[in-house]
């Protein structure tokens, strides 16, 4: 098991410096989010500044971009990083796709499945293995003149991960994807008891093995050797859980541990604008179910112990280290030790 890190896309010179520091610290892969800035440009900057660090998107928004555009970008990133790039895709939510991007959203599950299937067809065409031909309900591709194809590359096809929470998308990830991006609001028990069985259904449908699907698991990781240091990172995680938990779609994550009705309570306080009240509902008991805490010397072992049985092929990602590093860059060496501890454990 290896430890990855989440990072937000940022100014490209800053991303190059951050990626080099992350590589030097011993993290295995840096996953880039997409919000106000594009994940792909930051991925290019990070890839060119490093030699060993895996680079991935977690996640890039799929639907506003044609699969051909996405395939071309991913192909170039794989080529220029020596195969270190992983394409992580997500649907985003309906309001953003339709009102921010002026794109088409529904139905998101079948649309994403076709998106991934068409990417595989395009990759085969790029390699010259077959003529481009894909006909679906949402996407169709049949034209790729030689001068418009990037051609074969020495690296393998970019692995394709999708973000999934609900059963349909989890089954689809198991059926046709290389990996699944787990939502940061999770617990090991929820993954084992609820989400993994859906992935296994998709795996069985396709005649694959569960080990063929990598579980990329972001974890909120409060850490510190002093009470003050630990309290600061725990409070940051408490706010995240209050925010994510207020989305009632995620209520099964609470219900797995008997916190029935908590999502409704959070949603009601959010509707009233009572942010302090939301955070107040996340007791230490709730917090400890959805985070992994520790001192700097114990966090690595604690992470592995919590998640070691979730899936045959699993990677852990610290969801909170980058924000902590922005405030306290001097703790990078401590994160380097956590990364080594995870690998050794």
Parallel, antiparallel, or unpaired for β 160-163 and 140-141?
unpaired
By the 10 Å C-beta count (0-12 exposed, 13-18 middle, 19+ buried), 206 is classed as: middle
236 within some domain: no
Cα 113 versus chain centre, distance: 17
Domain count across the chain: 1
In a domain, 336, yes or no: yes
Tell me: pLDDT of 338 over 90: yes
Whether 166 is covered by a domain: the verdict is yes
Any idea what the CATH number is for the domain that residue 37 is in? 3.20.20.30
Q: What is the pLDDT of residue 259?
A: 98
Q: Is residue 180 part of a domain?
A: yes
Residue 79: domain span: 3-228+291-344
What distance in Å separates the CA atoms of residue 286 and residue 263, rounded to the nearest whole number? 12
Q: Which tens digits make up the pLDDT trace of 207-230?
A: 999 999 999 999 999 999 999 999
pLDDT of residue 194: 96
Q: Output the CA angle 214-220-224, nearest 5 degrees.
A: 130
d(CA 92, CA 150): 28
Does residue 33 sit within a domain? Answer: yes
Residue 266 is assigned to a structural domain of this protein: no
pLDDT, average across residues 84-92: 97
| Inter-residue contact 342 to 29 (CB < 8 Å) | no
The tens digit of pLDDT for each residue in 152-169 reads: 999 999 999 999 999 999
pLDDT at 299 over 90: yes
Cβ neighbour number for residue 12 with a 10 Å cutoff: 16
- Residue pair 218/161 in contact (Cβ under 8 Å)? The answer is no
pLDDT of amino acid 58: 97
Two tokens at 76?
Answer: 């170039």
CA 27 to CA 13: how far, in whole Å? 20
- List CB contacts of 259: < 8 A, sequence separation 6 or more: 286, 289
97 in Cβ contact with 75 (< 8 Å): no
Please give the model's pTM, rounded to 2 decimal places: 0.96
Position 280 in a domain: no
């Amino acid at each position: 098991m290896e430890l990855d890190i989440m990072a937000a896309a940022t100014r490209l010179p800053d991303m190059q410096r951050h990626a080099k520091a992350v590589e030097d610290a011993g993290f295995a892969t840096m996953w880039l989010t997409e919000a106000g800035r594009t994940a792909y440009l930051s991925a290019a900057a990070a890839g060119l500044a490093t030699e060993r660090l895996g680079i991935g998107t977690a996640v890039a928004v799929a639907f506003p971009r044609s699969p051909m555009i996405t395939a071309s970008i991913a192909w170039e990133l794989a080529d220029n990083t020596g195969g270190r790039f992983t394409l992580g895709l997500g649907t985003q939510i309906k309001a953003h796709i339709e009102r921010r991007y002026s794109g088409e959203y529904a139905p998101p599950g079948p649309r994403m499945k076709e998106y991934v299937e068409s990417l595989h067809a395009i990759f085969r065409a790029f390699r010259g293995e077959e003529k481009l031909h894909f006909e679906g309900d949402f996407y169709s591709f049949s034209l790729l003149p030689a001068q418009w194809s990037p051609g074969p590359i020495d690296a393998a096809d970019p692995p394709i991960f999708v973000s999934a929470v609900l059963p349909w998308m989890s089954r689809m990830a198991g059926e046709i994807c290389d990996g699944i991006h787990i939502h940061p609001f999770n617990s090991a028990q929820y993954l084992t008891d609820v989400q993994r069985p859906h992935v296994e259904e998709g795996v069985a449908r396709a005649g694959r093995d569960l080990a063929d699907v990598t579980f990329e698991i972001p974890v909120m990781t409060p850490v510190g050797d002093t009470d003050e240091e630990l309290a600061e990172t725990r409070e940051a995680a408490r706010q995240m859980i209050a925010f994510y938990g207020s989305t009632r779609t995620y209520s099964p994550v609470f219900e797995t541990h008997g916190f029935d009705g908590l999502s409704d309570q959070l949603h009601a306080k959010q509707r009233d604008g009572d942010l302090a009240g939301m955070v107040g509902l996340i007791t230490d008991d709730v917090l400890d179910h959805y985070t992994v805490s520790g001192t700097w010397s114990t966090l690595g072992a604690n992470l592995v112990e919590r998640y070691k049985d979730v899936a045959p092929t699993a990677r852990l990602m610290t969801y909170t280290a980058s924000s902590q590093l922005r405030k306290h860059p001097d703790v990078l060496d401590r994160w380097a030790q956590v990364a080594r501890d995870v690998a050794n454990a």
